[in-house]
Each structure stands twice: as structure tokens, then as C-alpha cells.
Amino acid sequence: MREGFGIPIIEAMACGVPVITSNTSSMPEVAGDAALLVDPNNEKAIFEAIQKIQSNKIFKNELVEKGLKQYQSFSWENAAKKVLNIYQQFNHKNI
């Protein structure tokens, strides 16, 4: 029931898997609009989310596409660019 950051969400999105995740902790922020958010204590909500993905291929494909885009914002390449940008800003201010 607990996940500190949501790495499994990012990993699933990177693999093209539609994501259903908890609406608690950092999960909504990590998932963005690329996942179905459910109350982890509500079995009916979890079942309905699974059913929605299984029964609606268009919706499933939309989640997968959004997930692949969401994953990119957490990619190592993107993280490295952000860190480099911070270093460059810091270096420029101290020159």
C-alpha cells in the first residue's frame, strides 16, 4: 500500500502498460493524467478500473500513449538535462 516515489508506475509506463494506481501519497503527481487513480482500500473501484481498461481498447491505448509521454518526463536523459541546466545557471551566476 505504500510506495515512496512511484518508480513502478514509471517503469510500467515505459513498458507500454496501462496503469492503475493509488490516489494517495505521490502517486497522483507521478502518474499525472496517464493513469487511473483509485482508492487502494476500495475493492470495487479497483475492479471497475480494471474492467474499464479491459473493455475499452481506445481508452486503454490512450492511457498507454499518455504513459509513454509521462515516462519521458522522468527519463534519465531528461533528468540529466535538468541537472546540467541547474549547473549552468549556477556557474553563470558565479562568473
**Cα–Cα distances in angstroms (integers) from residue 91 to residues 66, 78, 87, in the given order:** 35, 20, 6
Per-residue pLDDT of the chain (95 residues; tens, 9 = 90+): 566 788 999 999 999 999 999 999 999 999 999 999 999 999 999 999 999 999 999 999 999 999 999 999 888 898 899 899 999 998 877 65
Q: Residue 20 CB: number of other CB atoms within 10 A?
A: 20
CATH number listed for the domain at residues 7-93? 3.40.50.2000
- In this structure, the chain runs to a length of 95
The pTM of this model reads 0.80
- CA separation for the pair 58, 44 (Å, rounded): 22
